[in-house]
Amino acid sequence: MDAFSSLGLGFSIAFEPGNLFFCFIGVLFGTLVGVLPGLGPVGAISLLLPLTFKMQPIAGIIMLAGVFYGAMYGGSITSILVNIPGEAASIVTCIDGYQMARQGRAGPALGIAAFGSFIAGTVGIIGMMFFAPFLGQKALGFGAPEYFSLTFLGLTLVAYLSRGSKIKALFMAVLGLVVGCIGADPVSGEQRFSHGSFTLFDGLGIVPVAMGMFGIAEVLENLESRVVLQREVFKTNVRGLFPDRKDWKRSSWPIIRGSVLGFFAGIVPGPGPIIASFTSYAVEKKLSRHPEQFGNGAIEGVAGPESANNSATAGAFIPLLSLGLPGNVVMAIIMGALMVHGIQPGPLFISKHPDLFWGVIASMYIGNVMLLALNLPLIGIWVKILKIPYAILFPLIFLFCLIGVYTLNSNVVEMFIMLFFGVLGFIMRKTGFEGAPFLLALVLGPMMESSFRQALLISHGSFEIFISHPISAVLLIVGFACLISQMIPTFTKKKEGFLGKAL
């Protein structure tokens, strides 16, 4: 079955009334999440995750995917009108988008963000349609050594590409691996570190940890932020949303470059949309004939980054579905949703579940059209929603998180686990530690441990198996190169400081 006939199967599934409805709910809620600063796509998907356990797998994944790429759309509205990024990938859009709004050009800024996002999202989906099956076929030859090396590389890349301290990111990844050991031993089945708690027999659940670390912690952080609590929507005319010919001429190549760059940035493990948007902005400023206009309302500074972060959302699905490797926190949560339904993402995923894979791809085409239809006509409504005081919003977010965790297993203990990780996540943010490496290590830890022990069983305890397999050896070399490159600056600074004191 070729890609186009498979896509036909996907559209027949995506156009089923139930799937179409959940696609609409996903993109609508995702846009709302992007518009409202204070929750973010990770917290929103964690909040909706328990609902998907009672749904058909296709409908559930379609809805969660819609929230993810819908948030990328909505984030531009807040960035342009309020100068507050609705989610992290829209930080760069604030720079020139808000300046355009101050100059009375909020309409063209919002319009080019919407059209650029639509074009880039479509490019990303097309790339996903062809690249994911190809990568899945190549990964069919992967064994236990290759999977261990792949998960090791994924974790080191996430730490390497983190925005803060690399050492702190590595520490959080190691801590996530340790916490991932709680529960049943994957080989013997014996209990480890559960201390007799029935809640911990299967390990820490990803839902309470994710909702606490990214939902509750986000609320606590925003409660002390005057910028969010006292935000004021910039009063400007948002009419004339369609960019003129001059705007399109300046934005066409940034949209094309951002689409391609974002897609490949999304494939690499790490915060793909964030890296894509920052890189796109830097590229456009470098290539511009008038770089001095950037920061003063250059439309290229909106078109490029907004295209890049939307294309990256499609690229992020590729390592998850074809290799079983979640490249960021959102993909880790979606992987958890798949595994609850008994679906294991990886090289056999596309051949075993073609209806799910192609149904999700087709729904992303449909969702992109829905988002274009929602973003432009409903700008006035989004502006009114932005004026809702955060003092009203945060108790509702907190309540929904509690309800979402409790309905998962009707377990009060998991509510306390969520609150614990909420406070821990808030403390981590204040001290410069990131939650993403921890959560990814928590998800990948069991897979990494199982692959490691299986490889040693196959080789009768010889570690040579990891370097005798060429693919495994290459992945390990790249992973260790990332580790060493992170350590060198730290040791260099210490050495310089010691020499300075000595002299």
The model's confidence at residue 362, banded by pLDDT at 50, 70 and 90, is very high
Q: Any idea which residue has 């959080």 for tokens?
A: 172
Among 127-136, 179-188, 247-256, 315-324, the range with the most confident prediction by mean pLDDT is 247-256
pLDDT in tens, 32-41: 887 776 667 7
Q: Is the predicted pLDDT of residue 491 greater than 60, yes or no?
A: no
Give one DSSP letter per residue of 53-120, joined into a string: TTS-HHHHHHHHHHHHHHHHHHHHHHHHHHSS-SSGGGHHHHHHHHHHHHTT-HHHHHHHHHHHHHHH
Say how far apart CA 327 and CA 155 lie, in whole Å.
Answer: 9
The model's confidence at residue 238, banded by pLDDT at 50, 70 and 90, is low
pLDDT in tens, 134-159: 887 777 777 888 888 888 887 787 77
DSSP 8-state code for residue 181: T
pLDDT at 24: 93
Output the average pLDDT for the chain. 81
Is the separation of the CB atoms in 288 and 338 below 8 Å? no
pLDDT in tens, 277-310: 888 888 888 888 888 888 888 889 899 888 988 8
Is the separation of the CB atoms in 33 and 40 below 8 Å? yes
Q: From the CB of residue 495, how many other CB atoms can be counted at a distance below 10 Å?
A: 10
Say how far apart CA 5 and CA 60 lie, in whole Å.
Answer: 24
pLDDT at 503: 45
More confident residue, 482 or 486: 482
Say how far apart CA 421 and CA 439 lie, in whole Å.
Answer: 11
Say how far apart CA 187 and CA 451 lie, in whole Å.
Answer: 11
Q: What is the mean pLDDT of residues 213-242?
A: 66
**Beta-carbon contacts of residue 257 (< 8 Å; ≥ 6 apart):** 280, 283, 284, 304
pLDDT in tens, 28-86: 888 888 777 666 777 778 778 778 878 888 999 999 999 888 887 887 887 888 777 66
Q: Is the predicted pLDDT of residue 20 greater than 90, yes or no?
A: yes
Least-confidence region, from 44-48, 330-334, 475-479? 44-48
**Beta-carbon contacts of residue 356 (< 8 Å; ≥ 6 apart):** 57, 58, 61, 343, 349
The kind and range of the H/E element at 191 are strand 191-192
Q: What is the pTM of this model?
A: 0.78
Say how far apart CA 340 and CA 358 lie, in whole Å.
Answer: 20
Is the separation of the CB atoms in 73 and 114 below 8 Å? yes
Residue 183 CB-density burial (10 A; 0-12 exposed, 13-18 middle, 19+ buried): middle
Q: What is the mean pLDDT of residues 98-125?
A: 86
